[in-house]
Chains A and B, each alone.
Chain A
């Protein structure tokens, strides 16, 4: 079983749609959780950290369920510029290693 699992997609959605990505992690000692965004042939960029209480940044909402070891990302009112690969990322208990999922590819269509 992979340490961080994501649905690889691809997700193809029209502009203005709401899309949700899910992720599960296997290490219950994981300390921190993030969503990164990666454009084609570019480096990953931090989109948002994920907190136990859930957090929102504009059109983006992240949720964490530690009991179920589950993380989600919701994007509302999708824009063409949201097209990218979204990486679910977990920081291990020793705070050294980021473990990445394989990413979910999103294409927002005009």
Chain B
């Protein structure tokens, strides 16, 4: 086990709704990255938080936003959900930005 936890495990939402996903990083890790994985694809980078600040962003619209807290846990918020947002959302933690990233079990989001 990596020590990275995510909640909830599964979630079903309706188009247009908003969702918040949570991630607790591994002890000693100060960097959290979020990824979206559609079925049959590799994970796609959404953004990274390092010491409570956004430290890089992938090709996702502004309705994807996040936070990192002083204990280095993190949230991913998605507004105005679309059907294509249905995916596995993964968070990964690392010690600083240079090190290997370890993934949590993911949140499977279904938008209907």
- Chain A interface residues toward B at CB < 8 A: 4, 32, 34, 41-46, 49, 87, 94-103
**Least Cβ distance of A4 to chain B in Å?**
8
Which residues of chain B have a CB within 8 Å of any CB of chain A? Answer: 2, 33, 35, 40-45, 48, 55-56, 58, 88, 90, 92, 97-98, 100-106
Across the interface, do B90 and A98 meet the contact criterion of CB distance under 8 Å?
Answer: no
Docked pose: A98 CA to B88 CA in angstroms:
16
Contact B42 A43 (CB under 8 A): no
> Which of these, B2, B33, B40, contacts A98 with CB under 8 Å?
B33
Nearest Cβ in chain A — how far from B61, in angstroms? 17
Nearest residue in B to A94 (C-beta to C-beta)? B56
The residue in chain B whose Cβ has the minimal distance to the Cβ of A102 is: B42
Contact, CB under 8 Å: A100 / B90:
no
Q: How far is the CA of A100 from the CA of B90 in the complex (A)?
A: 13
> 25 A-B residue contacts at CB 8 Å?
A4-B42, A42-B105, A43-B90, A43-B103, A43-B104, A43-B106, A44-B90, A44-B103, A45-B103, A46-B101, A46-B102, A96-B33, A96-B55, A97-B33, A97-B45, A97-B48, A98-B33, A98-B35, A98-B43, A98-B101, A100-B35, A100-B43, A101-B42, A102-B40, A103-B42
